[in-house]
Amino acid sequence: MLLIKSVRMVDWRRSSITPYDILIEDGRIRKIDSEINLSGVPVIYGAGLTAIPGMVDAHVHLRQPGYEYKETVETATRAAAAGGVTALCAMPNVKPCPDSPENLENVRAFQRDSKIRIIQSCAINRDLDGERSDWKELLGSGARFFTNDGLPVDRVSDMVEILKFSRETGVVVGEHPEAPGMDEKIHNAEAMMICRDIFLNERIGGNLHIQHISLAESVRYLEKCRHKNIKFTVETCPHYFCEVEKGLEMGMYEVYPPLRNEEDRQAIIWALSTRLISIIASDHAPHSIEDKKLDKPARGFSGIELLFSLCYNNLVRKAIIDLERLVEFLSLSPSLLLGIEPVCFETGKRADIVLFDPDEEWCVEESAMYSKGKNTPFLGSRLKGRIKYTIASGEVIYPFGELR
CB 148 within 8 A of CB 92: yes
Q: Which of 283, 291, 295, 322 is catalytic?
A: 283
User: Which strands make up the sheet holding 208-210, listed edge to edge?
Assistant: 145-147, 172-175, 208-210, 233-236, 279-280
**Beta partners for 33?**
21
Compute CA distances 404 → 28, 38, 52, 260, 369, whole Å: 17, 18, 21, 44, 23
Query: Is 283 one of the annotated active-site residues of the chain?
Result: yes
Among the listed residues 236, 230, 316, 221, the one whose alpha carbon sits nearest the alpha carbon of residue 275: 236
SS3 content of the chain, % helix, strand, coil (to 5): 30, 25, 45
C-alpha–C-alpha distance, residues 42 and 25, integer Å: 11
Concatenated DSSP letters of 189-251:
HHHHHHHHHHHHHHHH---EEE-----HHHHHHHHHHHTTT---EEEE-GGGTS-----S-GG
C-alpha–C-alpha distance, residues 275 and 29, integer Å: 29
Among the listed residues 52, 53, 55, the one whose alpha carbon sits nearest the alpha carbon of residue 8: 52
CB 93 within 8 A of CB 124: no
H helices, E strands: number in the chain: 11, 16
155 CB-near residues (< 8 Å, 6+ apart): none
Q: Which residues are catalytic?
A: 283
